[in-house]
């Protein structure tokens, strides 16, 4: 009986498994040994580690969301700080709406992708690109804001480091990048302990603070920093309240990360991801409300010099002892590790966009540790540039923050509402398979559509409030950046679509017959490398021409004499170059020959290239072959071939 292997061999197709294994190198020491593709199933994570990886951004926002509310309210004086807690309650209500909506998204789209996939399947290409651009922008800003805020905690405890905050921030970004390059499981194991350390210390601080507050012995912050009013003095107005609300909604950033990274969880993926989302939302809401209540009670003052968390910790613990330092250390760690949410989400989203042809294809390939290495490196570089531009200032970066994620919230939930509408119009037993999910009739579709519709409306209002209240503070940059990024994504997609059309085999027929093959060999001298190229040229065609660009008549005469001896009867064209140019006369000659090219005629340029024994010897040579290749790369009907000759 004929086996599958025999059948494949009979059709001329052979399948083999490569025996090559990557050797140990400096990369092995830095990011770990390469992992085979078969290990991908073993690199998934459970709920506890998932909370550390995907929730660190949302949880860390409790360290600065309250402060940003107070910064805006400070324009109306310290008395306006009483509005901070009601604003926080409104933000937590919004958190519940968003959480319920994304919990439905997780179960409807178990393949991950979040807002981009939902918008793509339900709203169309342009909304999908907008959601993708908004999320990519938010992930980048998350890294910049979180690291800058973490460094701000350090400089609160050690003011002498304030002038070095930019260098510290960039260094920490690249440290987190290296850890993420080691893989999902390893980065999760490394980051889990600091995340739970933060949860423990912050829960203890808030719990102890509430106990002292209820007992009447909490008191006020000692020696608070001076109030830094960044806006002109004003009264408490609805606009000011909305402005403070929009700043505080930074607490919701990162809520969508779990829906983007469902595939990182162990089976059952959707259930584990959904439970992790519920855990995260409950912890986030509790800590945020507790910190805001206590900050108002002790009279904390928002400042770049000392954070609200620092003032709260030294008030609760009555000084800067071990517990205070533990809070500062834990907060600093979680803020820095908050970037890990972006390092988990950005590469995955980039890979999905790249697979759909909206980003360079290279971003869709996994690296040696089964993570999207190129996306991780790209995120670190872009975020570092932002940190340098804005000098690691949280207050300067916050206006750019959150508008992107709320735009993606709006599109995601609008897409989910439309999905439930489609589900409700299916007959029982009917099934429609879409790219990201399978639609089946569900009895409770109306309630689910209402939840997502309410969520979409609520977050759309926040986007509008954010755009208006923070426009002058810098939100206009994001409002300009997202459409620009959408245009960039569209241009990449347009290129890939045109390329696929040009390479399509449909209506192709038979490949054109090569009626004539002409070979041109540019030479710089007559040596062994030249003769190796000449012998290769003879294997392709009998129509071979050697071309020498002459800048010195004496040198040209030497080449002519040697060619008569070693040229094997092949014609030699000597191009005199009175202005001592090399490429221009050669390109002009090739252009002249190309203009006379007949139909179905191919011109091959064979470039002799000798390879020195040591790599650094290449620095001593002109690399004319590479320059010639670049110059001719876009010429139709011309093939460029290097013939290397190893020296030594």
- Both 477 and 594 in one domain: the answer is no
Tell me how far apart the alpha carbons of residues 99 and 96 are, in angstroms, rounded to a whole number: 5
> Of 537, 548, 542, 549, nearest to 604 (Cα)?
537
Cα-Cα-Cα-Cα dihedral of 74, 78, 79, 82, to 10°?
A: 70
How many DSSP H helices and E strands does the chain contain?
Answer: 25, 7
Asked whether residue 484 falls in the same domain as residue 621, the answer is no
| Domains identified in the chain, total number | 2
CA–CA dist 633, 621 (Å, integer): 21
CATH code of residue 341: 1.20.1740.10
Residue 9 within any structural domain of the chain: no
Mean pLDDT (the chain) is 84
% of the chain beyond a pLDDT of 90: 27
Residues of the chain by 3-state class (helix, strand, coil), percent to 5: 65, 10, 25
Q: Is residue 374 in a domain?
A: yes
User: Residue 83 — very low, low, confident or very high, per pLDDT cuts 50/70/90?
Assistant: very high
- Please tell me the predicted confidence (pLDDT) of residue 230: 55
> Do the bridges between strand 601-611 and strand 516-523 make them parallel or antiparallel, or are there none, so unpaired?
parallel
Residue 508 placed within a domain: no
pLDDT at 133: 92
Three-class SS string for 267-301?
CCHHHHHHHHHHHHHHHHHHHHHHHHHHHHHHCCC
Claim to verify: residue 58 and residue 120 sit in the same structural domain? yes
Q: Residue 199 phi/psi, 5° resolution?
A: -60, -40
Q: Let me know whether 71 and 179 are in one domain.
A: yes
Q: Give the C-alpha separation, 409 to 249, whole Å.
A: 12
Q: How confident is the model at residue 127 (pLDDT cuts 50, 70, 90)?
A: very high
- Cα distance between the two ends of the chain: 54
Same domain, 443 and 550: no
The listed range with the strongest mean pLDDT (69-78, 249-258, 487-496, 637-646) is 487-496
Tell me the average pLDDT across 355-379: 88
pLDDT per residue over 512-569, tens digit each? 666 678 999 998 888 888 898 999 999 888 899 999 989 888 999 999 999 999 998 8
Q: Does residue 609 form part of some domain?
A: yes
Same domain for 581 and 441: no
Give me the domain span that covers residue 615.
Answer: 516-646
Least confident of 141-155, 295-309, 484-498: 141-155
Within-domain flag for 1: no
More confident residue, 640 or 304: 640
Lookup: tokens for 22 = 């990557």
| Concatenated DSSP letters of 499-542 | HHHHH--TT--SPPP--EEEEEEEESS-SHHHHHHHHHHHHH-S
- Of the three residues 444, 465, 495, the one that is the final residue of a domain is 495
Q: At 149, is the pLDDT very low, low, confident or very high (cuts 50, 70, 90)?
A: confident
Stretch 117-123: mean pLDDT? 91
Model pLDDT for residues 488-514, shown as the tens digit of each residue:
999 999 988 888 887 777 766 666 666
Mean pLDDT of 422-427: 90
pLDDT of residue 1: 44
Does residue 533 share a domain with residue 400? Answer: no
Domain co-membership, 420 together with 468 = yes
> Looking at the domain assignment, is residue 39 inside a domain?
no
Q: Write down the pLDDT at residue 154.
A: 82
Same domain, 622 and 544: yes
Asked whether 376 and 383 are in contact (CB, 8 A), the reply is no
* Residue that wins the pLDDT comparison between 618 and 394: 394
How many CB atoms are located within 10 Å of the residue 494 CB?
Answer: 11
CA distance 68 to 451: 29
Token readout for 221 is 């912050």
User: Band of the pLDDT at 38, cuts 50, 70, 90?
Assistant: low
Q: How much of the chain exceeds pLDDT 70, in percent?
A: 90
Q: Is the pLDDT assigned to residue 208 strictly greater than 90?
A: yes
What's the pLDDT at 2?
A: 47
Residues present in the chain in total: 648
* Domain membership flag for residue 11: no
From CA 398, how far away is CA 525, in angstroms rounded? 63
CATH of the domain at 585: 3.40.50.620
Query: Could you tell me if residue 110 is inside a domain?
Result: yes
pLDDT given for residue 18 in this prediction: 65
At 43, the pLDDT band (50, 70, 90 cuts) reads: low
Residue 329 has pLDDT above 50, yes or no: yes
CA–CA separation, 211 vs 323, rounded Å? 16
Position 474 pLDDT exceeds 80: no
**Is residue 271 classed exposed, middle or buried when 0-12, 13-18 and 19+ CB atoms within 10 A define those classes?**
middle
- For the cut 80, the answer to whether the pLDDT of residue 23 exceeds it is no
Q: Is 617 in a helix, a strand, or coil?
A: helix
Same-domain pairing of 490 and 528: no
Q: 156-203: per-residue pLDDT in tens?
A: 778 888 888 899 999 999 988 988 888 777 777 777 888 899 999 999
pLDDT band for position 584 (cuts 50, 70, 90): confident
Q: Distances from the Cα of 16 to the Cαs of 8, 9, 20, 520, in angstroms?
A: 11, 12, 12, 38
Residues 577 and 481 in one domain: no
Same domain, 320 and 362: yes
pLDDT at residue 345 greater than cutoff 70? yes
Instruction: Give residue 617's pLDDT.
Output: 64
């Amino acid at each position: 009986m004929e086996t599958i292997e025999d059948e494949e061999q009979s059709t001329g197709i052979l399948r083999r498994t490569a025996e090559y294994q990557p050797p140990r190198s400096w990369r092995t020491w830095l990011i770990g040994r390469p992992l085979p593709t078969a290990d991908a199933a073993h690199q998934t994570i459970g709920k506890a580690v998932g909370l550390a990886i995907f929730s660190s951004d949302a949880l860390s926002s409790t360290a600065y969301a309250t402060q940003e509310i107070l910064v805006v309210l400070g324009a109306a004086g310290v008395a306006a700080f009483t509005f901070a807690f009601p604003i926080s309650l409104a933000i937590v209500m919004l958190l519940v709406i968003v959480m319920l909506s994304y919990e439905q998204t997780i179960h409807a789209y178990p393949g991950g992708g979040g807002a981009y996939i939902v918008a793509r399947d339900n709203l169309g290409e342009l909304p999908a690109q907008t959601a993708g651009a908004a999320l990519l922008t938010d992930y980048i800003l998350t890294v910049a804001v979180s690291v800058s805020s973490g460094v701000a905690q350090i400089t609160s405890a050690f003011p002498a480091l304030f002038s070095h905050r930019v260098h510290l921030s960039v260094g920490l970004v690249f440290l987190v990048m290296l850890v993420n390059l080691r893989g999902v499981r390893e980065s999760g194991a490394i980051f889990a302990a600091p995340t739970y350390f933060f949860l423990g210390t912050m829960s203890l601080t808030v719990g102890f603070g509430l106990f002292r507050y209820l007992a009447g012995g909490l008191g006020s912050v000692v020696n608070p920093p001076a109030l830094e009013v960044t806006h002109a003095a004003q009264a408490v107005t609805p606009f000011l309240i909305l402005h403070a609300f929009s700043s505080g909604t930074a607490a919701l950033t990162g809520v969508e990360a779990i829906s983007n990274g469902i595939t990182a969880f162990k089976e059952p993926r959707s259930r584990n991801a959904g439970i992790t989302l519920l855990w995260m939302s409950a912890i986030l809401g509790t800590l945020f409300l507790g910190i805001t209540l206590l900050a108002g009670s002790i009279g904390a003052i928002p400042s770049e010099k000392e954070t609200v968390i620092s003032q709260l910790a030294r008030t609760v613990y009555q000084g800067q002892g071990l517990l205070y330092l533990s809070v500062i250390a834990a907060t600093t760690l979680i803020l820095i590790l908050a970037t890990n949410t972006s390092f988990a989400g950005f590469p995955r989203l980039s890979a999905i966009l790249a697979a759909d042809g909206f980003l360079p294809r290279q971003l869709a390939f996994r690296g040696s540790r089964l993570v999207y290495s190129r996306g991780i490196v790209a995120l670190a570089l872009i975020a570092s540039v932002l940190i340098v531009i804005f000098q690691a200032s949280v207050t300067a970066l916050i206006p750019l923050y959150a508008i992107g994620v709320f735009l993606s919230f709006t599109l995601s939930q609008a897409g989910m509402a439309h999905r439930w509408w489609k589900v409700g119009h299916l007959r029982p037993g009917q099934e429609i398979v879409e790219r990201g999910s399978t639609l089946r009739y569900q009895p409770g579709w109306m309630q689910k559509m209402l939840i997502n519709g309410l969520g979409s409306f609520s977050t759309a209002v926040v986007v509008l409030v954010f755009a208006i209240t923070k426009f002058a503070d810098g939100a206009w940059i994001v409002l300009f950046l997202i459409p620009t990024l959408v245009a960039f994504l569209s241009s990449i997609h347009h290129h890939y679509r045109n390329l696929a059309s040009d390479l399509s085999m449909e209506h192709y027929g038979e490949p054109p017959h090569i009626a004539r093959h002409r070979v041109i060999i540019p030479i710089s001298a007559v040596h062994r490398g030249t003769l190796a190229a000449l012998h290769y040229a003879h294997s392709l065609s009998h129509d071979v021409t050697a071309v020498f660009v002459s800048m010195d008549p004496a040198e040209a005469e030497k080449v002519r004499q040697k060619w008569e001896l070693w040229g094997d009867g092949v014609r030699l064209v000597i191009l005199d170059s009175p202005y001592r140019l090399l490429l221009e006369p050669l390109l002009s000659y090739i252009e002249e020959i190309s203009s006379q090219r007949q139909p179905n005629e191919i011109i091959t340029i064979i470039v002799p290239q000798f390879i020195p024994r040591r790599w650094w010897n290449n620095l001593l040579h002109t690399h004319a072959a590479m320059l010639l290749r670049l110059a001719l790369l876009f010429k139709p009907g011309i093939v460029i071939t290097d013939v290397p000759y190893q020296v030594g």
